Chains A and B, each alone.
Chain A
Amino acid sequence: MKLIQRDGESFLFHISKREKGLLFEVLKLYPLIPIAHHRVSQTAAALGVTETQKLLESALADRTRENKRQLLAMLNQETRLQEPVGAHRLTLSGPQMEWLLQVLNDIRVGSWLILGEPDEKKGKPIELNDENARYYAAMEFCGLFQMTLLDALQQSS
């Protein structure tokens, strides 16, 4: 997948059939991060910000619902994906780039949580098995797609 043209706020990507299949399969995992995972403060109870925590969870739930709605719209919108021979052309607007980055990172971080929060710097390697292997793949694929989107934004700025 690579950026082939930018016209104002519109980004046109070349994406192979295989990449398209991978991207759409990975996106079906969204959302993966439990809303309760996010904490507004490390000392929330001491700060008396319980109400703030509830607001945060409510706001994130709203955001997730909106991302999901846009995601389904994108996946179902045939005109977004034109199909030249052997490949696809994916068109995204600037705001769509932002929410797609959020969606991909939710899947990436959510996969990491499912994998048991591995951290090689702390001597906690990934322990793969038949059940979690797909999440390792999803985590890596999301990273690749994120880098492609970030490179495209970088090139255009």
Chain B
Amino acid sequence: MQKFQRVNDLGLLTLAEIEIRPVLEYFPGMAETVEPVVLPDIEKEEQTGAQSELEPGYLVICWDDPVNLMDYVTHVFQVVFGWPKPKAEFHMLQVHNQGKSVLTRESMERAEHYVHQLQSYSLHATMERDA
């Protein structure tokens, strides 16, 4: 804030000077109000999981049955999900040994799509809401 120094012959301020004089110089007892400094609201984003983990999701599950051939199941996983053979075999063996395998977690629409694909190959696949 600029300091006020000049006075006229009467020791009074000219009108022009009064107009540019800070108001607080007329009321020295008045507490100066400091304009609050508003800083940009930048908050550090908390570390969270992937977005898909936060949204309500559906699990696409393939269930074991004694009729589908192991090589066939592996092939279907490769075709439907585009997985490399080792990953497809991993899930196929999980189905075979543990009775089921969670293949992916998706939105409802995507889960429906995958279930349709898997069932068109006659695999026992369902979608279940992720708790």
Residues of A within 8 A of B (CB): 33, 38-43, 47, 49, 52, 55-56, 59-60, 63, 98, 101-102, 105-106, 108-109, 112, 118-121, 139, 143, 146-147, 150, 153-154
Q: Tell whether A143 pairs with B75 under 8 Å between CB atoms, given A42-B128, A102-B120.
A: no
**B68 in complex: contacting residue of A39, A105, A120, A150, CB < 8 Å:** A105
Q: A98-B79, A105-B121 are in contact. List 8 more A-B contacts (CB 8 A).
A: A39-B126, A40-B126, A60-B120, A102-B122, A105-B72, A109-B67, A120-B66, A121-B66
Q: In the complex, are the beta carbons of B119 and A56 less than 8 A apart?
A: yes
Interface residue SS majority, chain A: helix
Question: Which residue of the partner chain, among A33, A42, A139, A150, contacts B72 with CB atoms under 8 Å?
Answer: A150
Is the CB–CB distance between B72 and A40 below 8 Å?
no
- Tell me if B87 is interfacial: C-beta within 8 Å of chain A: no
B110 in contact (CB, < 8 A): no
| B59: nearest chain-A partner, CB-CB | A41
How many angstroms from the CA of A146 to the CA of B122 in the assembled complex? 13
- In the bound assembly, the distance between CA atoms of A67 and B11 in angstroms comes to 105
The total of Cβ contacts below 8 Å across the A-B interface reads 68
Question: How many residues of chain B are within 8 Å of chain A by beta carbon?
Answer: 21
Q: Which residues of A have CB within 8 Å of B65?
A: 109
Tell me, in angstroms, the Cα distance from A120 to B68 when the chains sit together. Answer: 14
Provide the bound-state CA to CA distance between A118 and B66, in Å: 8
Q: Which of B112, B115, B120, B121 has the most CB of A within 10 A?
A: B120
Q: Which residues of A contact B75 (CB under 8 A)?
A: 101, 150, 153
Closest residue of B by beta carbon distance from A35: B119
B104 CB to nearest A CB, Å: 15
Contact between chains at B69 and A109 (CB < 8 Å): no
Question: For B128, what are the chain A residues with a Cβ–Cβ distance below 8 Å?
Answer: 41-43, 47
What residues of chain A lie closer than 8 Å to B66, measured between beta carbons? 112, 118-121
Q: With A56-B112, A101-B121, A150-B75 as given contacts, are A40 and B127 in contact (CB-CB < 8 Å)?
A: yes
User: Given A42-B126, A56-B119, A101-B75, A147–B69 Cβ distance below 8 Å?
Assistant: yes
The residue of chain A having its C-beta at the shortest distance from the C-beta of B79 within the complex is: A98
Complex Cα distance, B67 from A118, in Å, reads 9
Interface centre among A40, A102, A119, A147 (most CB of B within 10 A): A40
